[in-house]
Amino acid sequence: MATKISLRILIDEEKNKVLFAQAGKDFMDIVLSFLTFPLATIAKLVNTESNIEKVRFGSISTLYESVANLGEQQFWTPACKKMLLQPRNSMEEYCQNLNHNIHVAEDLKFLICDDWHCSRQSSGGLLTTFSNLKCSCGKFLSQAISLADKQKIDNEGFVAEAVTFSIADDLSVKPDSFQNFICQPMNLLGLEDFNSIKFMDVNLTRGEILDLLKCSLISESPLTDMFLLKKPSFENIKPIGVLDFHIGTIEENQGKKVEVKLVLRKSTNKILFAFGDADFTDFILSFLTFPLGGVEHMLKGNSCGSSIDNLYKSILELDSDTYLKSSDLKDKLVKPKLAHQFKLRNQLFPFDEMPDPNIFCVTRHNRRRTGFHAYLTALEDPYIDSKALCVPLKFLEPQSSTGEAYGDCGGRGFMKSLAFYMVTDDLVVTPCTSVSVISILSKLGIPSSDLEERIITIGNKEGLSILKASLTSSSALTNGLAPFLKVKVETLLKVKDENISN
C-alpha cells in the first residue's frame, strides 16, 4: 500500500491562485520522474482518466494511436511495434519503487534460444528482451531465463533525503530556505500582505499525480489548475508564432538528412501530408521513444513553452551534490538516454543509449545429465565451478528477423525499408500507394489547383523543429517546417487559434 504524498500549498485566496508548494523527497521524485518518461508513455498516461479530463499531447497522441493501428506486417519484426508503444524508460530502476509511481513498467524478461547448445557456444549465444524473435540458428528465442544478480540501486528516487523544496505554480523549483521564502512570495509573486494567504495541506493520490502530469504539459500554472480550478487552463496558452519556434543555438545541419515530398494546400498554407521512405518514417516514429528530459536537452529547455521547461531549467541550476542522491544524477535527469537496444543507426539526432549490460549465461548439466540448469549474470560470478560453463551473450537486434546481433551503432529502424509512407500534419503514419493518396485527396474535396508539391531536405534543424511543434500542436509539420518554408506568420497564428478552440 503506497504511503501518502503530502504537500503543503500556499494559496492567494483573493486571486484564487497557488503561490507555491512546499514538498519533500517523495513529491519531488515523482515530478522528476516525468523527465525520464518516453513520449509514448506520456501520450498513454495523459489519455487515461483521472480527476481531470484526458488531454491530447500535441501530435504525439495521434502518432501513438497511428502506430497502434498499423499492421504488424509493416514492421521488420513484432518487437518494433512494442518498442514504439511501450518503450523502456532508461531510468526505470530509479522510478519503480516511487510512491504513486504513475507508470509501472512491465518486468524485463530475458529470453534465450530454445536450443541449449546455442547458449553454450564459446563464441556466445543470443539474448533478447522481446518475444517472438528468431535466433541465428532459426529456432525461437523463447526460453525465459532469470538474471541472478541484477544490480540493485540502493536508494530509489533522485532527491536526497530530508531536503525540502519550494515549487512555484509554474513548476520552477528551488530548495526551500528561509531566504527563498522571503524573496519569492513577497517580491516575485507580487504579494503585498499576508491577509489573503491560506495554507492548505494535501495528501496526493495517484490520480492527482496524473492530473499534475496533464496540467504540466499544457499549462503555465499547473498547481492552480489541479488544486483550485480542477481543469487545465487552456486560455493561458500562448498562440505559437514563428518566433516561439527559435530552437536554441544548435549545431549547423550536419550528418544524416532525409528528403521528403510535401503536399501543401495553397489557400491555407497548411501542409497536408509528407511522403517519405522508411528513414523519414522511422525518424518521426522514434519521437515516441525519446525521454522527455532528452527532448528538453536537445531543445535547450525551450520545448513546449509549458511548465516542464521551467522544471527542467530549475534542475539544470540545482546543486546536485547537496540536493540529489548522487552527483551523477543531475546529468542522468537533464540528459536521459534511450534505453539499451533503442538507438537507430540512421537517427537524425545524436541520441545516446544506455550501454550494453554485458550479460553472461551460466549453464550446467542437471544431476541426471538430462538437461541444463542455467541463469544469467551481469557480474563476475564467484560460484562458477569447473562443471559449469559461462559464456558471454550478445543482444539480438530487435529489428532483425534473421538473428543478427545488436551493434553499437543501433538498430536498423522500425518500418520495412521497401515501402513508402504518408505522414499527415498531425503525424498519423500510414503506408501509401498512389491509389490511397488519390482516394484521400478526393475525400478531402480539395481541387488539385489548390495543391502544391515541394521537396524538402530534413536534417537536424528541421527535425528538431518538427519535434518541438509535435509537443504542443496538432499541426506538427506545418508549424515545425514553417520557418523553413517561409509560410506567413498570420496563417500560423490562425492555425493555432483553431486548435485551441477545438
The footprint of Zn ion (CB under 5 A) covers 113, 115, 118, 135, 137
CA 344 to chain centre: 15
* β pairing state of 143-145 and 110-112: antiparallel
Residue 86, burial from CB neighbour count under 10 angstroms (0-12, 13-18, 19+): middle
| Closer of 118 and 228 to Zn ion (Cβ) | 118
Alpha-carbon span 122 to 145, nearest angstrom: 19
Decide if 65 contacts 48 (C-beta within 8 A). no
Q: How far is the CB of 148 from Zn ion (least distance, A)?
A: 21
Q: Tell me whether residue 393 or residue 487 sits nearer to Zn ion (CB atom).
A: 393
Cβ 8 vs Cβ 105: under 8 Å: no
Tell me 170's DSSP state. Answer: T
Side-by-side strand order, sheet with 173-175: 173-175, 165-168, 17-23, 5-12, 197-204
Residue with Cβ nearer Zn ion (115 or 404): 115
CB of 122 to Zn ion, least distance (A): 14
For Zn ion, the closer CB: 112 or 263: 112
Shortest distance, CB of residue 113 to Zn ion, whole angstroms?
A: 3
Nearer to Zn ion, 110 or 287 (CB): 110
Grid look-up 500510414 returns 430
CA distance 396 to 173: 42
Measured from the CB atom, the residue of 135 and 258 that comes closer to Zn ion is 135
288 closest CA partner among 427, 416, 431, 92: 427
Q: How far apart are CB 129 and Zn ion at their closest, in Å?
A: 16
- The answer to whether 7 touches 14, Cβ cutoff 8 Å, is no
For residue 468, the surrounding DSSP H or E stretch is helix 460-472
Q: Which three cell numbers stand for residue 118?
A: 546455442
Q: Which is nearer to Zn ion, 125 or 483 (CB)?
A: 125
Q: How far is the CB of 114 from Zn ion (least distance, A)?
A: 7
User: Helix 278-285 and helix 60-69: axis angle, to 10°?
Assistant: 120
Nearer to Zn ion among residue 7 and residue 113 (C-beta): 113
Nearest Cα to Cα of residue 106 among 41, 48, 30: 41
Question: Cβ 407 to Zn ion, closest distance in Å?
Answer: 19
The alpha-carbon radius of gyration of the chain (Å, integer) is 25
Four-residue CA torsion sign, 37, 50, 23, 13? positive
